[in-house]
Amino acid sequence: MGQKGERDAFVSQGFDTWNKKDAFRTHVGGVDSFHNKAREKLLLSICEEIGQDVFALLVDESSDVSKKEQMDIVLRYVDSIGFVKERFKGLVHMNDTSSLTLKNAINEVLTSNKLSFRQIRGQGYDGASNMRGEFNGLKALILQENDTTFYVHYFAHQLQLVVVAVAKKHDGVSDFFVQISLVVNVVCASCKRKDLLREQARERVQKGLCSGEIET
């Protein structure tokens, strides 16, 4: 099929060899592949479904394993028959995480999809100052564009903060994570230690396969 993309494993047989990155490239195919055409039609259908209606904006940003800062944008809206939907709209590489840079990037994504700040009725971010700051945060900048964009500190981040706070109060849990942190720092500081840990893991897996404790 050339550059049209293939690999039925992703949709029928199942896929477990996640370390083989080439499989993803083969599955995606070229710019004219079935995969990319389907993706374009899906992102287009989301915009058509929203149309001129209103939606909520969910945004988060984090660095990936290559140390690039990425911002993801999700739209939450109610469709024509009353179902609440959340749809991933894009992943944007950011040079910095200042609130103005984030706002401009969001504006570009919305504009390219024929959407605007005027349609936003809700904002959901974490509690970082560049996101929820009262004067210069992303929340405040979007409120300047549209004063009906109600802000909510999203629940998953609130829950994370609660779990972290509670864990720190429990001596056993706190000590456990301190020790884990020390181990990770010690191992990651040395290529030799990494190789030693990988070799020990390989031996444990091999022993488990031989004894029948692990299946493959």
From the first residue on, what is the mean pLDDT of each consecutive set of 10 residues in the chain (216 residues)? Answer: 55 71 75 81 86 92 79 91 90 87 91 91 85 82 92 81 86 89 89 90 93 86
Give the number of domains in the chain. Answer: 2
My answer on whether 134 and 67 are in the same domain is yes
80 within a domain of the structure (yes/no) = yes
My answer on whether 88 and 178 are in the same domain is no
My answer on whether 132 and 92 are in the same domain is yes
Gyration radius of the chain over CA positions: 23
My answer on whether 146 and 192 are in the same domain is no
Whether pTM exceeds 0.75? no
Q: Give the per-residue pLDDT at 5.
A: 52
My answer on whether 94 and 135 are in the same domain is yes
My answer on whether 119 and 69 are in the same domain is yes
98 within a domain of the structure (yes/no) = yes
1 within a domain of the structure (yes/no) = no
| Helix count and strand count (H, E) for the chain | 8, 5
Give the CA dihedral 188, 190, 193, 198, nearest 10 degrees.
60
149 within a domain of the structure (yes/no) = yes
Q: Give the per-residue pLDDT at 1.
A: 46
Name every residue whose Cβ is closer than 8 Å to that of residue 3 and which is 6 or more positions away in sequence: 29, 30, 32, 33
Q: Give the per-residue pLDDT at 177.
A: 86
My answer on whether 103 and 128 are in the same domain is yes
114 within a domain of the structure (yes/no) = yes
Domain that holds residue 86: 53-153
Q: Could you say which of 108, 124, 153 is where a domain stops?
A: 153
Q: Give the per-residue pLDDT at 2.
A: 47
Q: Give the per-residue pLDDT at 7.
A: 57
Q: Give the per-residue pLDDT at 158.
A: 79
Please name every residue paired with 60 in a beta bridge, in sequence order, or none if there are none: 72
My answer on whether 183 and 135 are in the same domain is no
Q: Give the per-residue pLDDT at 133.
A: 77
My answer on whether 124 and 180 are in the same domain is no
My answer on whether 72 and 129 are in the same domain is yes
Q: Dihedral sign, CA of 187, 193, 199, 200?
A: negative
Q: Give the separation between CA 45 and CA 109, rounded to whole angstroms.
A: 15
Q: Give the per-residue pLDDT at 119.
A: 95
The CATH number of whichever domain residue 91 belongs to comes to: 3.30.420.40
158 within a domain of the structure (yes/no) = no
> Shortest CA distance to 71 belongs to which of 80, 79, 63?
63
184 within a domain of the structure (yes/no) = yes
7 within a domain of the structure (yes/no) = no
My answer on whether 58 and 120 are in the same domain is yes
My answer on whether 58 and 119 are in the same domain is yes
Task: Note every long-range contact of 100-106, with CB atoms under 8 Å and residues 24 or more positions apart, other chains counting.
Answer: 100/141, 102/59, 102/61, 102/71, 102/130, 102/131, 102/138, 103/138, 103/141, 103/142, 105/71, 106/57, 106/59, 106/71, 106/73, 106/138, 106/142
